[in-house]
Amino acid sequence: MKPKADVWQGTLALMILKTLETMGPQHGYGIARRIEQTSDHALQLNYGTVYPALMKLEQDGHISSSWGVSDNNRKAKFYTLTRAGRREVERAAREWDQTTAILARFLAPQEEK
């Protein structure tokens, strides 16, 4: 088993938003599971950290929530992406692309001039 990576500061929010964008309304547990699956279990995700992040996103108006019933008939709180949230996903994804691209240039083998 290869060592698991920690979740980087600030990336969890983007992961949550992106998850909701792809999957539509989802409860906290579902989001956490989906993040684990998407990362192919490479991430060391403490489920407990998802909830403060959800709360902050809701306060910023990026997601909204309502109580509903899960597939197996359990009461659960479902989160939905808002319009502002969609814009935020685009913005953050673009920013992230830029960052990784820049970083990649540093890490790639130096080309001869």
Partner 1 sequence: MRVVGRWFHRLLLPFRAQSDEKIADEIQSHVALHADELIAAGQSADVARRNALISLGGVAQTVDRCQEGRRFAAVLNLARSLQLAVRRLLHEPVFTLAAVATLALGIGSTSAIFSVARTALASPLPFPDAARRVMIFSRWTAFQKTSVADQEIWDYRAMAHTLTAVAGWTTAQENLTGAGRPARLTVGRVTANTFDVLGVSPWLGRGFTTEEDRPKGPPVAILGHGLWRARFGGDPSVIGRKIVLDDVPVEVVGVMPRGFRLPTDYTDDVTEPTELWRPAQIDETRMSRSHGYNAAALLAPGQTARTASEELAAIARQLTQRGEYRETMHFTAFARTVDEEIRGPLRPAMLLLTGGVVCLLLIACANVGNLLLVRGETRQRELALRSALGASGSRLLQDLLIEAFVLAFAGAALGLPLALAGLGVVRAFDPTALEALGSLSIHWQMMLVSVGAAALTTVLFSAAPIVGHQGVLRILRETGSNATAARGRARLRRLLVMLEVAVATVLLVAAGLMVRSVEAMRRVDLGFAPERVLTMRVALPATRYATADRVVDFYRRVTEEARGLPGVEAAGVVRLLPLATTIGDWGLDIDGFDESAGNAKGDWQVVTDGAFETLGTRLQAGRWFERGDRTDAEPVAVVNETLARTYWHKPEDAVGSRIRMGSDSRRPWIRVVGIVADERHNGITEAVKEKFYIPFSQWHVVTAGNIARNAFVIVRTTGDPMASAKTLEDVVQQIDPDLPVGAPRAMTDVVSTALATPRLTGFLLSGFAAIALLLSAVGIYGVLAYVVSRRTREIGVRMALGSERYRVVSLIVRQGMSLALLGICAGGLFALGFSRLLRGLLYQVEPTDATTFSAVGAILLLIALSASALPAWRAGRMSPLLALKSE
Binding site for partner 1 (CB under 8 A): 27-30, 32, 46-49, 51-52, 55-56, 59, 61, 70, 72, 74-77, 84
For residue 30 the two structure tokens come to: 């579902």
Q: Least distance from C-beta 75 to partner 1, angstroms? A: 6
Q: Least distance from C-beta 57 to partner 1, angstroms? A: 11
Rounded to whole angstroms, how far apart are CA atoms 20 and 32? 11
Q: Say which amino acid occupies 29.
A: Y
Rounded to whole angstroms, how far apart are CA atoms 18 and 86? 9
Q: Least distance from C-beta 1 to partner 1, angstroms? A: 16
